[in-house]
Amino acid sequence: MALKFLKAAALSSAALVLSACVSITTAEAPLPPSDPLPPLPPPAPMFEPSAEAMKAHMTFLASDLLEGREAGTRGYDVAAAYVAGRFEELGLKPAGDYASYLQKTPLVSYASATKGKLALRAGAKGKAVPLVFGTDYLPGAQPVAAKVAVNAPMVFVGYGVVAPERGRDDYAGLDVKGKVVVVLTGAPSGFQTEERAHYAGGKTKRIEAAKRGAIGVITLQTPMREKVRPFARGLNTWQGSSMSWREKSGAVFFPGASAPPIATLSLDGAKKLLLGAPYGYEDIMRMAADPDGRTPTFALPKQMQATVDSKIAGVQSANVAGVIEGSDPTLRDQVIVLSAHLDHEGVSEKADKNGDKIYNGAMDNASGIATMLEVARGFTQSPDRPRRSVVFLAVTAEEKGLVGADYFANNPTVPKGSMAANVNLDMPVLTYPFSDVIAFGAERSNLGPAVRRAAESMGVKLSPDPLPEEGLFTRSDHYRFVEQGVPSVFLMTGFEGPGREAFTKFLAERYHKPNDDLDQGIDYAAGAKFAKLNYEIARELADMDERPQWNQGDFFGQLFGK
Ligand SMILES: [Zn+2]
C-alpha cells in the first residue's frame, strides 16, 4: 500500500512540474517577427482533479497502518503529518499555531465511569425507591466534574423548547431553580427538520435549563424515539467516550454545565417517574406525538436522588490548516474555510466476522480529505489567485462530537470576524458515477445561488435533501461554524441513478464499520469529479462580489448570525 502510494504521488508531482514548465515557455516565447498581431494569451488552463491523486491520498489515509485515525492516537497524528506535508508541497501558507500547519487542540474525553445510582423518593425525607440500571435508566456523562450528586425536586418541561420565533416557551410559569428538569428526548415532529435537530440537541436543552438555574437534566425516552433508536441499544454504547475541549483559561468548554445530564430513562423508567403526576405517561406521550408536541408542564410529586460518575481525561490532538491568501486588497480579509474531518473511529475491541478490527474510514472521511487536497491543488495551480483568502482545514475529533471544528470555530487562527463562509466535506460516497448532489444549508444563504451556478457549470443537478428525517445539516463540522454565525454548506453525492442504492447500501453495510475500507469498489473518477465540483464552488464563493450572508429571516441566521 505505502509503495503504491509513493509511486502515484511521484507521478503526480512529475506532471505538476511538467505543466508548470509548459505554461512558462508559452508565456515567455518571443514573437516571430513576421506576426502582425501578438497571439492571444493561452486560455487559463481548466483545473482537472486527478483520479490517481484521489486514489493515492485515500490509499494512504485509509491504510491499516493508520489504525483508524482516532483523535489522540498515533495513527491520527501520522495522518495529520501527511496532510501538513501535502499542504507544504502545494505551497499553502501555514495557518495553524504560529508558523505551523498544526493547530494544537486540547481535547477532553469523558465517559460514564460507573452505572450510577438513581432513586425516586416522595419528598426530601420519603423512602428512596431505586431505578434499575439498564432497564429503567442509563447514566449521563459530562466533562466538568467527576461526580454529580443531586437530591432535589423535579419539574417536567415537555420537550423543553424555548423558541421565541414560534412564540413558544415550555418553561413559561415554571420555577426550576435548584431543581432537576425532566425533558422528553427529541423535538416536536412538526418542526422543520433542521430546526427540529437544533431543538432536539442535548446542548440546546441543557443551556435553557442552566439559564433558569436548574441543577441537572433527566431525559425521557418517547415511544417515537424507541422505534428509531431502541433504549436497549444504549446498553452497548453507554460507556463510549465523547469529547469536548479546554479553553485557554483551562476551563472545559461545556455550555450549560451547571445543569449536567444525569440520565436517560427508558419507557418503563418514564412510567415510574410520571406515576402520581397530574398527567400520566399515556397522556403525555400521546400529546408529545402531535406535530406541535405541546404537553402540559408541571412540578412532579417525586424527588430525584442521583449520583453519576464520569471519567475525564485530557487528550492532545491537532487540526491542520493551510491558507492561500486572496488577491483582492479588500476581500482578502474575508476567509472561506474549506473543511473536512481527518479523524475516524480507531480500532475496535472486537473483530468483525472477517477478523477485521480497524475502522479505516475510507469514505468517512478519507474521501473528503482527498477531495480537499485536490481542491487545494486546484487553487494553488490556478493562474488567478482567489479574491478572498481560502483556508483549508482538516479537523480532528469529528467522530467525538464535531470537536476539532468547534475548537477552530471558537478559536480560529484567522480573525474571528473574517470567516465569511464554510464549505464542509464529510463522507462523500464515491462508489458510483453521481449525476446530482445535495447541498445542505444552501437555501439558507446566498451560498445557494453560488453553489447552483458551480454545479450547473458542470452539468450536475442540485437535488433536495432525500433524508430529511436524518437532520444531516446539524450532524457534521459545518454546524460548528453555523453556531458561530458563519453561513455554511455541506455537499453530499446525490441519489439519482444508482445513487440511492449505493448510498443506502453503504449506510447499511459499511458506515462506521471496519469494512468502510479501500475494498468497496471505489470510483476514483467520481472522486475527481466531486473534487472539481467543490473547487468550482469554493472558487465561486472566493470570487463573488458580495460577502456570503444568511438570507433575511433565516432561522440559523437569526439564531446565531451577528
Ligand atoms: Zn463518521
**Ligand 1 centre from 364 Cα, in Å?**
5
DSSP per residue, 225-275: HHHHS-GGGHHHHTT--EEEEE-TTS-EE-TTTTS-EEEEE-HHHHHHHHT
pLDDT tens digits, residue range 66-77? 999 999 999 999
> From CA 198, how far away is CA 205, in angstroms rounded?
9
Which set of grid coordinates corresponds to residue 416?
A: 474571528
Structure confidence at residue 45 (pLDDT): 56
**Ligand 1 centre from 512 Cα, in Å?**
6
Cβ-contact 336, 390 below 8 angstroms: yes
Residue with cell 483545473: 47
Residue 236 burial by Cβ neighbours in a 10 Å radius (0-12, 13-18, 19+): exposed
Beta carbons within 10 angstroms of residue 352's beta carbon: 12
* Listed residue (51, 48, 60, 65) closest to 86, CA to CA: 60
- CA 290 from centre of chain: 29
Q: What share of the chain is helix, strand, coil (3-state, %, to 5)?
A: 35, 25, 40
Q: Pairing mode, if any, of strands 261-265 and 216-220?
A: parallel
Which set of grid coordinates corresponds to residue 273?
A: 417517574
**Ligand 1 centre from 368 Cα, in Å?**
11
Degrees, nearest 5: CA angle 215-219-222? 160
* DSSP-assigned letter for residue 211: H
- 209 SS3 class: helix
> From CA 67, how far away is CA 78, in angstroms rounded?
10
Strands (E) across 426-507 are located at 436-440, 461-463, 488-493
> From CA 203, how far away is CA 198, in angstroms rounded?
9
Name the residue type at position 365: N
Degrees, nearest 5: CA angle 314-517-49? 100
**Ligand 1 centre from 343 Cα, in Å?**
9
pLDDT along the chain (562 residues), means of 10: 32 37 42 63 72 98 98 97 98 95 97 98 87 98 96 97 96 98 96 91 97 98 95 94 94 97 98 95 97 97 97 97 97 97 94 92 97 97 95 97 96 95 95 94 92 92 85 88 95 94 94 95 96 95 95 94 78
Structure confidence at residue 43 (pLDDT): 57
**Ligand 1 centre from 278 Cα, in Å?**
42
**Ligand 1 centre from 487 Cα, in Å?**
22
**Ligand 1 centre from 171 Cα, in Å?**
35
Alpha helices by DSSP H, listed for 355-446, are: 367-381, 403-410
**Ligand 1 centre from 84 Cα, in Å?**
22
Q: Identify the structural domains of the chain with CATH numbers, from first to last.
A: 2-23+44-91+325-560 (3.40.630.10), 110-312 (3.50.30.30)
Structure confidence at residue 8 (pLDDT): 36
Phi-psi group of 160: left, alpha or beta (phi > 0 → left; psi -120 to 50 → alpha; rest → beta): left
**Ligand 1 centre from 513 Cα, in Å?**
10
**Ligand 1 centre from 65 Cα, in Å?**
19
* DSSP-assigned letter for residue 365: I
Structure confidence at residue 164 (pLDDT): 93
Structure confidence at residue 47 (pLDDT): 78
**Ligand 1 centre from 97 Cα, in Å?**
26
**Ligand 1 centre from 399 Cα, in Å?**
5
> From CA 495, how far away is CA 465, in angstroms rounded?
9
Q: Pairing mode, if any, of strands 261-265 and 137-139?
A: antiparallel
**Ligand 1 centre from 475 Cα, in Å?**
10
**Ligand 1 centre from 372 Cα, in Å?**
17
- CA 184 from centre of chain: 24
Structure confidence at residue 10 (pLDDT): 37
